Structure 1
C-alpha cells in the first residue's frame, strides 16, 4: 500500500494537536465525566461487560427531522447523515489517528506523478438487495456527480469530481464519456486527476450508490425517485438497512445480516425526533440510549446528566462551527430557475458592505455567547472562539493570521460613523444617503442554541445603532431552500457547519462557485490562494500549504463573508449498557456492526 511521507506527517501532526486539545482542560477538555481522557471506548470495557450479546434495539435522538433525502449524492444536512452513516459506505475511512484506511478499498497505490489512484476493492460485498458491489458502482457514482444535470438537480458535491480528467467536457455536455474514474475490472477502479493531486484518498472517499438501482433513472430525476426518499427503497451496503419511517417522528434501521464485515450485533437502531428540551428526561428514563450527531446535548444539561450513574458523557472539540453569514451577493431569479451559479451575474448587496460587516463583528460579544462556566452564556463554557473557518484541530488553523474581532462596541460605532451611518434621535442609524437603514437577520428552527442566540445578536447590534429585522424562524428544510435560492432581500443568516476531517481545504464551502457558499462571496484573491494551496508540486509540502492558508485566513477575516461565532464542544451521551463503540475524534457513528447492548 502506498503511503506518502507528506500525508503521514500531516495526519500525525493533526492527531498531536487533537491530543493537546484533549489534555488541555477547561473549555477544550475532552475527558469523560470519569476523568478518562481517552475518546474511544476500549476493548477492556467490553471485556468487563462480558462477550458481545446479540439482539436488542438501540434508540438515538435528534432534535431536527431529516428533510427526507437519503441519497448520498443529494442530501444536504447532518440529520440525513444519521441514516446514511449506517446504510452507505465509501472506499476509504479514517482511523483514530485520522489516517486514511481501507473500507471498501482493500489496497491502493498512487502513481509517481500523483495523477492516478488505483484502488483494489474487497470482493463479496453485497448491496442490501443481495447484488454484488463492484468497481462499476464506484464509476457510476462519480459519473453521476460529474453529470451535466447534477447541480441543476440540487447536487452540491461537485468538489469530489471536478478535479478529475474530462470533468469539464463531460459536465458541459461536450462528450458522453467520463474518463476521470474507470473500472479496470470488476474490483479495480482507477481515479485519474487532471493535475497532480494532494488529497486523492480524500476525494475517493465519497459514499457509493448502486448502479443497478439508479442506472435507468436520469440524474435530474434522482432526488425525487422513491429510491432516494422511501424507507425500504433506499439501498446501501452498510451494516444496517433503512426499513421504516414515520416522517419527522421516527426512522428505523434494521441489521443487514449479510454485511461483509460480519452480522451486526444489534437488531435495530431507531432514531426519534424529539424537542431538545425533553432529551434529558428521555435519557434519564432510558427511552433514549444515546445522543450524538449532530445534535449533541445542550451545554446547560451537562451538569444534570453528569449526575446520572447509568450514563457516560464524552466531550471533544467539534470539527465545525456556528456562523453569522453575510449575503454579499445574490443570484438572479433567472440563474436560480436554471440552477446556475454564475458569479458574473450576481447582484451586489449594498446593504452590508465590508465596513458594516466588520462593525458587526466588533459589536457581537462572542465570549458572552459562550460563557466561561456553568450557568454562563449559551454554552456554559463548553466551546471556543475561533476566527477562521478551519477547524481548531487542523495544522492549518492559524489564530495569529486572523483579525480577532474582540468585543468592542466603541470600535464598531467608530467604523459606522466613518462610513457615513449616522446615529438618529431614535437610537438607530441611517444609511450614508440619510435613509432609514434596516439589516435583516434570518435563522432556522431546530437548534435551541441558534434560536436563543439570534435575539441576543440582535441586541448586540442595536446597542451600536444597527436596526435589525429579526425574521420569524423557519423549519430547516424551508430555510435551506430559501438560503440556496438566494431570497433577494436577505442580509444575514445563521448556520452551522460540520467539517470533514480528511483535509483542512476550505474549498467546498468557501470557493466562489461552491453551492455551499451561501453568502455568494466573490473574491478573486481568495480563489487564487485556495487553488494555490492544493496545487502540486508545491502543495506536497505542508509548510507551503500552511502559509497559503494563513494568508487566506487573514483575507477571510478582513473581507468577512461570515463571522465565525464559536466552535461548540461536542457533548455525546450514551447509556453505559452500550458497548463496542469506536468513536473517533470527528465522529460517533463508526463500525456500528460492533455495537451491542448489555441486556438483563
Structure 2
C-alpha cells in the first residue's frame, strides 16, 4: 500500500474530530511501576493467597460462575425494605426483556467490585451504579453525571470536583464525596487505581460533603492535564462509605505487608448480595428467583425515578433471545445471524481497545526473535479476520503500533506511521523468508525448528474469542505451522492459562485495557499490565533498553530507547509536540519488535434494539459514550411506539 493510499485511507476511517484539547478517557488505568508505593502488596502475592478465584476477580471481567467459594460471612443485612420503590411495578410499569441470562439468585453474582463474581460488563451490575462522569467518544469530552463541575489548578493539578446534591443511594442516603473517597482509596490499596500518581492516604479527601479533592504527588504536578483526567474522571460508584468504609480504616491501620495483604484478601472475599447492596445508579434489583430477576427504576436517582418501565432479566439467553424476537435489547454481539427485521442498531462508540494476537515467552524462538513474531503475523490474513469477526465497517489495523488505530494518528508522527511495515495483509512468502532467516526449514509442508524438530505452537484462548482464534489457527496450519489450538471457558483461561502464561500465542483485547483513549494508558498496559505486561509478566520479549532502526526508516541506523524513560516523559509531557515525540518513539518500537500483532479496533456497546415496539432513536449520538445503553436511556427514556 502506497503512502498516499495509506493517508487517504486513514482520513476516511477517522472517527474523532480534530481538537488540540480533546480529552480521552480510560476509567482507571493500570499504572507504571516506576514509583510504586511500597506499602502495597504485589498483585502476585495477593492472588497467591486468594487462589484462582482471586485471579479472576482482579482480571476485570468474568462472564461465568466459579464453583470455588472463598467467601467470608458478612455483617450486612438486606436493605431492600429501605428502598421506596413502586411495589406494584408489574401492574403499573411496562416490562422490557434484555438478552443476557443475568440472575443474581443464590449469589451467582456478587455486588462487590473486587469479588470473583463481580462483572462490570453485565447489564445488571453496571446498570445499578452511577458514574462521576462518562466519556463521549464522538465529542471527545466528559459528560457530568454525579459530578456537577470540576476545576483543575494549572500549576499543581489540584482538582476540586463539585458533586450534585440530587443523587442518593437506593436506600435514601445522600451520595457524598466521602463515598468517592472510599472508592478511590480502595482501588489504590488494591493496586488498581491511581496510587502511582496520588498519595492514597493524603491526596484524596472530602473538603465537605459535596466537594471531592484530588491532589497528585508533587513530582506529577506537571503531568499532562488530559492524562490526569483519565485517572479519576470516569469512576463508577460501586461502593459506599457505609458498606466499605471499614476496609479503608483497616488499610490505614495496617503497618506491615502481611497486614495489608490480609485486608486485601478480606475485601476480595467480601460477599454483598443483590438485596444487601446500596445502588447508586438507575436500576435496583428487587426480585430474584429461579426463573427471573427484576430491576426497577431507582426511586432516588434524579432521572430514573421518572421511568415507567422495568427490566426482567434471566428469561432469555443471548443470541437465542434475539433470533426468536423475544427480547427488547440484545447484548453487544454483532456476529449474530438471522436477526429479525424488528431489530436495529444505533451508532457504535469505540471502546479504546484493540483485538490483538499476543505472544508468550515460553517458546525461545518467539521470545528471542522479532522475525519469528513477524512471520507468524504475516501468515495470518488479518483483513479477512477483521471482515469475518469484527463489527461491520471495522477497518483492520495496518500499523500494529500499540495504540488503538482509531486515534493513533492523533499521537504518532505521520511520517513514522507511513514508514511502518504493515503486517496485516497475508504474505506467506515474506513469512517464509523471515523464518528461514532464523534457521527454520519447511519439510513436507511443515515447519521445523533449527534443531530439526516439528515446531508446535501452544495456542490457548478464552471462549470469548473462539471464532477469531479458529481463523488464526487455520491460517497458521495452512502455512505449515503445527498448532495446538484449544479453547477454554474464559474464567478458567484467566485463572490458569493466563495466570501461568501457559501459551505461545493467545488473543485478547489490547492487554486487557478497556475504555482507554490516551497513548500513555495504552503503552503502560503493554509494558506494565499485571496480567500480560512485557516487563511484569511476559519478560524477555522486550527489554527496558531496546535497539531498533531509527524512527521513520526501517533500513536506517540502529538507535536505542529506554522504555521506562519514554513512559515517564510521556506522562509529564507539557506540550503536544513533546507528547507526540515520545508516543511516536514507543509506537515505532512496538511496530519494529512486535510483541503483539494488533489486528483491529474493538467496537464497544453494540446493541440490537427492538424498534418495532419501542421508540429507540437510532440516529442519536447519545449511543456514543463509554456508558453505552445506560446513557442513551438516561438521555431519552423509553416509550412504546
Shorter-chain TM-score bucket reads 0.7 to 0.9
1:189 aligns with 2:228: no
CA offset at residue 88 of structure 1? 1.6
1:216 aligns with 2:246: yes
Tell whether the 8 Å contact from 1:401 to 1:550 is kept in structure 2 after alignment.
Answer: no
Cα 1:509–1:72, aligned 2, differ >3 Å: closer, same or farther? farther
Q: Secondary structure at the match of 2:588?
A: helix
Aligned match of 2:567: 530
**Distance in 1 between residues matched to 2:111 and 2:265, nearest whole Å:** 16
Q: Secondary structure at the match of 2:403?
A: coil
Tell whether the 8 Å contact from 2:391 to 2:603 is kept in structure 1 after alignment.
Answer: no
**Distance in 1 between residues matched to 2:293 and 2:402, nearest whole Å:** 32
Tell whether the 8 Å contact from 1:72 to 1:207 is kept in structure 2 after alignment.
Answer: no
Cα 1:532–1:509, aligned 2, differ >3 Å: closer, same or farther? closer
CA RMSD of aligned residues (A): 3.4
**Distance in 2 between residues matched to 1:428 and 1:563, nearest whole Å:** 23
Tell whether the 8 Å contact from 2:111 to 2:271 is kept in structure 1 after alignment.
Answer: no
CA offset at residue 566 of structure 1? 2.2
Aligned match of 1:422: 441
Q: What is the count of residue pairs matched by the alignment?
A: 492
Structure 1 unaligned regions, length at least 5? 1-6, 15-53, 152-156, 168-177, 330-347, 372-376
| Counterpart mapping for 1:397-436 below 5 A | 399-400=417-418, 402-405=420-423, 406-425=425-444, 427-436=445-454
Aligned match of 2:461: 443
1:547 to 573, 577, 581: 581
Q: Secondary structure at the match of 1:278?
A: helix
Q: Secondary structure at the match of 1:314?
A: coil
Tell whether the 8 Å contact from 1:324 to 1:493 is kept in structure 2 after alignment.
Answer: yes
| Counterpart mapping for 1:32-47 below 5 A | none
1:254 aligns with 2:296: yes
Could you list the per-position Cα deviations for residues 316-343 of structure 1 after superposition, in whole angstroms to 9, with x for gaps in the alignment? Answer: 36333222111237xxxxxxxxxxxxxx
2:608 to 566, 573, 579: 573
Aligned match of 2:525: 510
Q: Secondary structure at the match of 1:442?
A: strand
1:108 aligns with 2:150: yes
1:561 aligns with 2:561: no
**Distance in 1 between residues matched to 2:241 and 2:179, nearest whole Å:** 5
**Distance in 2 between residues matched to 1:93 and 1:368, nearest whole Å:** 34
Give the TM-score normalised by the residue count of structure 2.
Answer: 0.68
Q: After the TM superposition, which segments of 4 or more aligned residues of structure 1 sit over 6 Å from their partners? A: 63-67, 75-78
Tell whether the 8 Å contact from 1:444 to 1:474 is kept in structure 2 after alignment.
Answer: yes
Could you list the per-position Cα deviations for residues 220-253 of structure 1 after superposition, in whole angstroms to 9, with x for gaps in the alignment? Answer: 22232222xx222232311112445579x96542
Tell whether the 8 Å contact from 1:266 to 1:596 is kept in structure 2 after alignment.
Answer: no
Moved more, 407-416 or 500-509: 500-509
Aligned match of 1:496: 509
1:10 to 12, 18, 21: 21
Aligned match of 2:403: 390
2:164 to 101, 107, 122: 122
Tell whether the 8 Å contact from 2:614 to 2:640 is kept in structure 1 after alignment.
Answer: no
Cα 1:107–1:594, aligned 2, differ >3 Å: closer, same or farther? closer
1:460 to 458, 461, 475: 475
1:202 aligns with 2:230: yes
**Distance in 1 between residues matched to 2:625 and 2:485, nearest whole Å:** 36
2:93 to 38, 55, 58: 55
**Distance in 1 between residues matched to 2:350 and 2:532, nearest whole Å:** 21
Q: Secondary structure at the match of 1:493?
A: strand
Aligned match of 2:334: 297
Cα 1:80–1:233, aligned 2, differ >3 Å: closer, same or farther? farther
**Distance in 2 between residues matched to 1:242 and 1:92, nearest whole Å:** 23
Tell whether the 8 Å contact from 1:69 to 1:80 is kept in structure 2 after alignment.
Answer: no
Tell whether the 8 Å contact from 2:376 to 2:431 is kept in structure 1 after alignment.
Answer: yes
**Distance in 2 between residues matched to 1:63 and 1:557, nearest whole Å:** 40
Aligned match of 1:133: 175
**Distance in 2 between residues matched to 1:589 and 1:98, nearest whole Å:** 18
Tell whether the 8 Å contact from 1:10 to 1:542 is kept in structure 2 after alignment.
Answer: no
Could you list the per-position Cα deviations for residues 235-273 of structure 1 after superposition, in whole angstroms to 9, with x for gaps in the alignment? Answer: 2311112445579x9654221111134514144224448
Q: Secondary structure at the match of 2:579?
A: helix
**Distance in 1 between residues matched to 2:120 and 2:182, nearest whole Å:** 25
Tell whether the 8 Å contact from 1:70 to 1:234 is kept in structure 2 after alignment.
Answer: yes
CA offset at residue 187 of structure 1? 1.6
Cα 1:270–1:486, aligned 2, differ >3 Å: closer, same or farther? farther
Tell whether the 8 Å contact from 1:401 to 1:554 is kept in structure 2 after alignment.
Answer: no
Tell whether the 8 Å contact from 1:321 to 1:564 is kept in structure 2 after alignment.
Answer: yes
CA offset at residue 107 of structure 1? 2.0
Structure 2 unaligned regions, length at least 5? 1-17, 26-91, 248-262, 545-561
Q: Secondary structure at the match of 1:588?
A: helix
Cα 1:361–1:466, aligned 2, differ >3 Å: closer, same or farther? same
Q: Secondary structure at the match of 1:107?
A: strand
| Counterpart mapping for 1:51-200 below 5 A | 55-62=93-100, 68=109, 70-73=111-114, 80-95=121-136, 97-147=139-189, 150-151=190-191, 157-158=192-193, 160-164=194-198, 166-167=199-200, 178-194=201-217, 195-196=220-221, 197-198=223-224, 199-200=227-228
CA offset at residue 277 of structure 1? 5.1
Give the TM-score normalised by the residue count of structure 1.
Answer: 0.73
Cα 1:273–1:460, aligned 2, differ >3 Å: closer, same or farther? farther
CA offset at residue 124 of structure 1? 4.6
Cα 1:68–1:223, aligned 2, differ >3 Å: closer, same or farther? farther
Tell whether the 8 Å contact from 1:390 to 1:504 is kept in structure 2 after alignment.
Answer: yes
Q: Secondary structure at the match of 2:629?
A: coil
**Distance in 1 between residues matched to 2:475 and 2:576, nearest whole Å:** 40
1:481 aligns with 2:523: no
**Distance in 2 between residues matched to 1:75 and 1:392, nearest whole Å:** 32
CA offset at residue 69 of structure 1? 5.2
CA offset at residue 591 of structure 1? 5.4
Could you list the per-position Cα deviations for residues 161-208 of structure 1 after superposition, in whole angstroms to 9, with x for gaps in the alignment? Answer: 3211x35xxxxxxxxxx1120121222121111112323332223222
**Distance in 1 between residues matched to 2:405 and 2:101, nearest whole Å:** 26
CA offset at residue 421 of structure 1? 1.9
Tell whether the 8 Å contact from 1:70 to 1:84 is kept in structure 2 after alignment.
Answer: yes
**Distance in 1 between residues matched to 2:306 and 2:517, nearest whole Å:** 27
**Distance in 1 between residues matched to 2:307 and 2:607, nearest whole Å:** 22
Tell whether the 8 Å contact from 2:401 to 2:587 is kept in structure 1 after alignment.
Answer: yes
CA offset at residue 63 of structure 1? 8.1
